[in-house]
Amino acid sequence: MVDTLELSLRGFLVRGLPSICEGDQLATMIEERADLQDGDVLCIASTVVAKAEGRQRSLKSYEPSGLAMKLAGPLNKDPRFVQAVLEESKEVLLTHPFLLVVTNFGHTCVNAGIDRSNVPGDEQILLLPRDPSASARQIRNVLSRDCAVIVTDTCGRPFRCGVAGAALGCAGIAPIRDWRGQEDLQGRTLEITLEAVADELAGIANLLMGEADGGTPVAILRGLSYPREGGDLFWPDEKDMIRRHLRPASARPPV
Amino acid sequence: MVDTLELSLRGFLVRGLPSICEGDQLATMIEERADLQDGDVLCIASTVVAKAEGRQRSLKSYEPSGLAMKLAGPLNKDPRFVQAVLEESKEVLLTHPFLLVVTNFGHTCVNAGIDRSNVPGDEQILLLPRDPSASARQIRNVLSRDCAVIVTDTCGRPFRCGVAGAALGCAGIAPIRDWRGQEDLQGRTLEITLEAVADELAGIANLLMGEADGGTPVAILRGLSYPREGGDLFWPDEKDMIRRHLRPASARPPV
């Protein structure tokens, strides 16, 4: 006896977006091309959000500090690029063999997520949006529908191979679904209680974005239920045991 | 002008599975309830795979070692539970405030993924499958359709709040999609080249599994293209910079 429940999950790619320039109204450009519905989850690659926000920079505009000069050599990187990474970061966790930092908005990643692909010119770089959740809110507020917005990026992960889609910021959806107080099939309270739904959605959105030729920076997920409020994307400093252990012992705050 | 591409992505939950016992043929039980098609990605929670493989244990069967006794106190855990974690692990990375280990099959997680929920009896625990990719292959080989199989679990992640679905093992699908040699829109070779597709699929599967009451341990994803071969799920020791830094300096292999 077949007994499957077909979920109403559907996925769409928004096509025909032109190359994004500073000042472009992404929300409007997307709505012109997509028939958004209330409850849709609109996933937008951070690259296009950053371009619309004018986060493209020339390496020529950076004056490398002594620290940037010192780090750049072993990394085999342009010192001006390293300077850009340092300016976007509030903490450096690893300096070799790659530059692992905590960005000013709290995201731990390599090179502060600064991208040299998908921008024209060898001297051009693209920073991440300054505050991706603020970007998501700003886009969401312009939409005529009640949609969730997730600004996505692809990130490497400790312990596991490859990169996966992750949420850098979101609005109209909670980063976390809180299962606390729910019971398992034996009536015991669930041990795993905080599910990173925005990341799970960013992951499948990233996979879908790669499905079309050349990549598509906007994907729509429809038919899912999701929490509207609660939780954070990034561990605060005092709860992040891995970050703690990447620091020299002398720089670790007490547990 | 609306110009969205509707992807053929569909999601199903397999319903009506009984409580799984040692020796159950999961593949057959799933096919009896689901109309699988070639190309489907069958995502199965590691808990039911482990139960079918008889990975339930009583704490009574563990004799805590001196190390287990020493670690258990500050962790506020039963020393027999800590002993079980140690026996399932090839390396301990953190001993406080939680026990972060590398399992014998290479997965880095807390408590070796040993579960005390969803098993009856206070003295009962459920280990992870011994070799989840072997489990996936075994299930896949019994299926009458050419499906990919992913054994999923929910895992905490460094730097980010909450847990998310991840692949512990897979068969008929590559862990990684290799974009190397592809060019971006400016004709430059892509910098991000290894996409952890099995994890991205496990993430959305985990989200879908939670959509029905009480949780459903088997989800089917249909309509996706995916690579069949290539890549690994877990970083080998020498490439894992975070794992390296969690060790005392004296125990770090040279880069």
pLDDT at A199: 97
Give buried/exposed letters for A229-239 (b at 16+ CB in 10 A, else e): eebbbbbeeee
**Quick check: B6 contacting A, CB < 8 Å?**
yes
**With contacts defined as CB-CB under 8 Å, which chain B residues touch A159?**
107-108, 158, 234-235, 240, 242-243
| Alpha-carbon span B155 to A182, nearest angstrom | 18
Model ipTM?
0.93
- Taking alpha carbons only, the member of B102, B153, B105 closest to residue B130 is B105
**With contacts defined as CB-CB under 8 Å, which chain A residues touch B220?**
4
Higher per-residue pLDDT: A220 or B244 = A220
Average pLDDT of the segment spanning A62-78: 96
Express each pLDDT in A105-124 by its tens digit. 999 999 999 987 767 777 99
For domain A1-55+130-233, give the CATH superfamily: CofE-like (3.30.1330.100)
Name residues 203-242 of chain B within 8 A of A (Cβ).
Answer: 203-204, 206-208, 210-212, 214-216, 220, 224-225, 231-235, 240-242
User: What confidence tier does B57 reach under pLDDT thresholds 50, 70, 90?
Assistant: very high
Q: Per the structure block, which two tokens stand in for B153?
A: 């679990």
Instruction: Judge: B184–A117 Cβ closer than 8 Å, yes or no.
Output: yes
Of A194, A211, A234, the CB nearest to B159: A234
Average pLDDT of the segment spanning B45-49: 96
Q: Is residue A52 scored above 90 in pLDDT? A: yes
Of A12, A154, A164, the CB nearest to B5: A12
What are the CA-CA distances from residue A206 to residues A37, A43, B196 (Å)? 21, 8, 10
Pairing of strands B108-110, B100-103: antiparallel
Tell me which of A71-80, A115-124, A127-136 is least confident: A115-124
Q: How far is A177 from chain B (nearest CA, A)?
A: 9
User: What confidence tier does A239 reach under pLDDT thresholds 50, 70, 90?
Assistant: confident
Average pLDDT of the segment spanning A93-113: 96
- Count other Cβ atoms within 10 Å, centred on residue A41: 25
| Alpha-carbon span A223 to B150, nearest angstrom | 23
Q: What percent of chain A has pLDDT over 90?
A: 72
Express each pLDDT in B163-178 by its tens digit. 999 999 999 999 999 8
**Quick check: B70 contacting A, CB < 8 Å?**
no
Q: Which residues contact A233 (CB under 8 A, 6 or more apart)?
A: A106, A107, A133, A167, A168, A169, A170, A175, A196, A198, A199, B160, B161
Average pLDDT of the segment spanning A134-148: 98
What are the CA-CA distances from residue B184 to residues A212, B80, B146, B188, B197 (Å)? 13, 53, 33, 5, 19
Of B162, B231, B232, the CB nearest to A194: B162
User: What confidence tier does B9 reach under pLDDT thresholds 50, 70, 90?
Assistant: confident
User: What confidence tier does A24 reach under pLDDT thresholds 50, 70, 90?
Assistant: very high
Q: Is residue B43 scored above 90 in pLDDT? A: yes
Domain residue spans of chain A? 1-55+130-233, 57-128
| Domain B57-128, CATH | 3.90.1660.10
Q: How far is A64 from chain B (nearest CA, A)?
A: 23
User: What confidence tier does A214 reach under pLDDT thresholds 50, 70, 90?
Assistant: low
**Quick check: B249 contacting A, CB < 8 Å?**
no
**Quick check: A157 contacting B, CB < 8 Å?**
yes
**With contacts defined as CB-CB under 8 Å, which chain B residues touch A6?**
10-12
